[in-house]
Chain A
Amino acid sequence: MVLPPFALHRPTTTAQALSLLAEDSVPYSGGTELLLAMRMGLIRPTALVDLKRIPEMQEIRTDRSRLLIGAGVSHDRLATDPLVEQHARLLAAAEREVGNARVRAQGSIGGNICFGEPRSDVATVLIALEAELGLANSAGERSVPAEEFFLGPYWTARDATELLTAISIPLPCAEGVYLKFQTVERPTVAVAAVRRPGGDYRVVVGAVGEVPVWADYPGVGEVDPVDLVGRTSPVSDLTGSERYKRHVTEVYIRRAAELLAESER
């Protein structure tokens, strides 16, 4: 099947890219989601604005108390970069298991979260790590907490004329465990359970519902799997019925909390 026609712009600065964006002139990075959606006729942009030639979108660096990741950085780089391994081990671990080796080499962290596909490993982990997402348009910049970014399936807080420029993770980074259950290309359920730098705990449940859900607890012993499952919105599909998914989710929350508790003993 062939792709529908489109114009291709290849800016080399964020400012140039922003001047080219419009409702039907869309950001394009690895294309692992966008090209598929275009081939299926779900999106029909007249132009793609390629972000891969913008150097700052490819940066990984630390700045005082934050780890800064350019939106164009690939999953594979995040999985293997020493700075990410040193400062945000949970993200590195999750990135190592995204999709397959080609998706990791081609796909970017920014494309993953901007697409808003519910079964994202990245979204779950970024909420656990309390990341801030840097958005820019030609009028200015703003920062949105990852917690407030995912509004629904394929729907995020990003406006069509905005670019996600960078992901900013506060340091020291929350540490913990990331567990997922997966039988096909994408996870059925994913659970991140972390101890936050302030000493309390956060459990995020992703992939199983329309958007990730989370709760904070003063102690790891207080994690309440039944309550948390009750907040998710699983739907029956090829990977399982709603009832089955609720069960698996509960089991995975419990296991993640247990593993986290064990790791602290």
Chain B
Amino acid sequence: MTAPLIELVDIAKHFGPVIALNGVTLSVEAGECHCLLGDNGAGKSTFIKTMSGVHKPNRGEIRVDGEVVSFSSPRDAMAAGIATVYQDLAMIPLMSVTRNFWMGREPERKFGPFKLFDFATANRITMEEMAKMGIHLRSPDQAVGTLSGGERQTVAIARAVHFGAKVLILDEPTSALGVRQTANVLATIDRVRKAGIGLIFITHNVRHALAVGDRFTVLNRGKTLGTARRGEIDAEALQDMMAGGRELAELAGSLGGTV
């Protein structure tokens, strides 16, 4: 068996006195969707920021294709094929879809001694990539603010895939979406996985995770409680692990099993 695309072993991260992560282990294989679950403040965002080069871990090891690496900036992580779609920070609403899509990696063409943004190429590729994800834009210079939340997530995902992401991290892409838009994003996740990309899908919605996940890891108070494969675990067990077990079960009992 080949090494996983990315492997994080026993990661710890402190912010001054706050211990945000205290021993988190996780790996992602090609073509797999690995769901990372956890309650608010469990450390999910902190963990993926460590993986994508925003934070440096205080302890632990990151291995890409079996080799130990150390990222000092998001650029390093991107160069290693790790792309992240952040919660809330995916897109700049005032800018056009094309401008967002190419932000930081604008294609250029020569114009005499000058280099200009090659809008013709950029617009064409943006439209093509969006069409592949099942979204037909009115126009590539439409502002992202005019898109729905699900469409915005899809632009961000299409962008990451286009730029050769091997590992794609999605931080709660469905948290602010309605039923139909969530379905679209989940369909996009499935499409990306079939293209052989490894996904880390962060959510605190167990049903969304079970709909697309191959493996499930639960974070609780900065620690992993273990990883389960698809079919080995059901919604209730995941829910219990997220909440730290007992208390929620008791609460659910008193509410008549609705939580």
* Chains A and B belong together in one complex: no
Interfacial residues, chain A to chain B (CB-CB below 8 A): none
Binding site for A on B (CB under 8 A): none
